[in-house]
Amino acid sequence: MSTTYMAKPHEIKRHWYIIDAAGRPLGRVATEVARLLRGKHKPIYTPHVDTGDHVIVLNASKVVLTGNKLQQKIYYRHSGYPGGLKKTAYSSLLAEKPEKAVYLAVKGMLPHNKLGRDMLKKLKVYRDGQHPHKAQAPLVWGEVPAEAQKGGRNS
């Protein structure tokens, strides 16, 4: 009889990935980022353990919304006081704070509990193509690393 594998915190190896959001729909980028943050791309994925990687999203200002969402979609927030509902159109949100638009889209796709908040801390979003995480040697998501290209069965 086999048992279900459960990842232990000391077994998790975290990598850093870069995702370029330029010209891509906001929702498509956000689902890919949420998947990496949760660790669903790994064979050791365990729902109640944070097995995910760190993600750097670049060019948040160049993300696009499909259809009429740019004019019609609205971001709501509430102060907690009576009459404290604030509305912001996504056209102005993307113009002023594109990082926040990407952050909120990813936040809505993660678990709404302590585990999700811990996953969200591994997300870094930047307006343009520059980031200060060179020391972590991040890999571009979707590309095969150089060391994997060298030592394969067919080489």
Assigned token pair, 76: 């709501």
> Which domains does the chain possess?
14-64+97-142 (3.90.1180.10)
Look at residue 2 in the predicted model and tell me its pLDDT: 78
d(CA 33, CA 143) in angstroms, rounded, equals: 15
Q: What pLDDT, on a 0 to 100 scale, did the predictor assign at position 146? A: 56
**To which residue do tokens 């102005």 refer?**
92
pLDDT at residue number 142: 80
So what's the pLDDT on residue 145? 61
Q: Quick one: which of 19, 72, 8, 3 has its CA closest to 44?
A: 8
pLDDT value, residue 155: 43
What separation in angstroms does the CA of 40 have from each of 31, 93, 123, 141, 147? 11, 30, 15, 14, 23
Q: Which residues of the chain have pLDDT under 70?
A: 144-155
Which distant-in-sequence residues (6+ apart) come within 8 Å of 149 by Cβ? Answer: 155
Burial level of 55, CB count in 10 A (0-12/13-18/19+)? buried
* pTM for the predicted model, two decimal places: 0.87
Tell me how many degrees the CA angle 15-33-7 measures, rounded to the nearest 5: 50
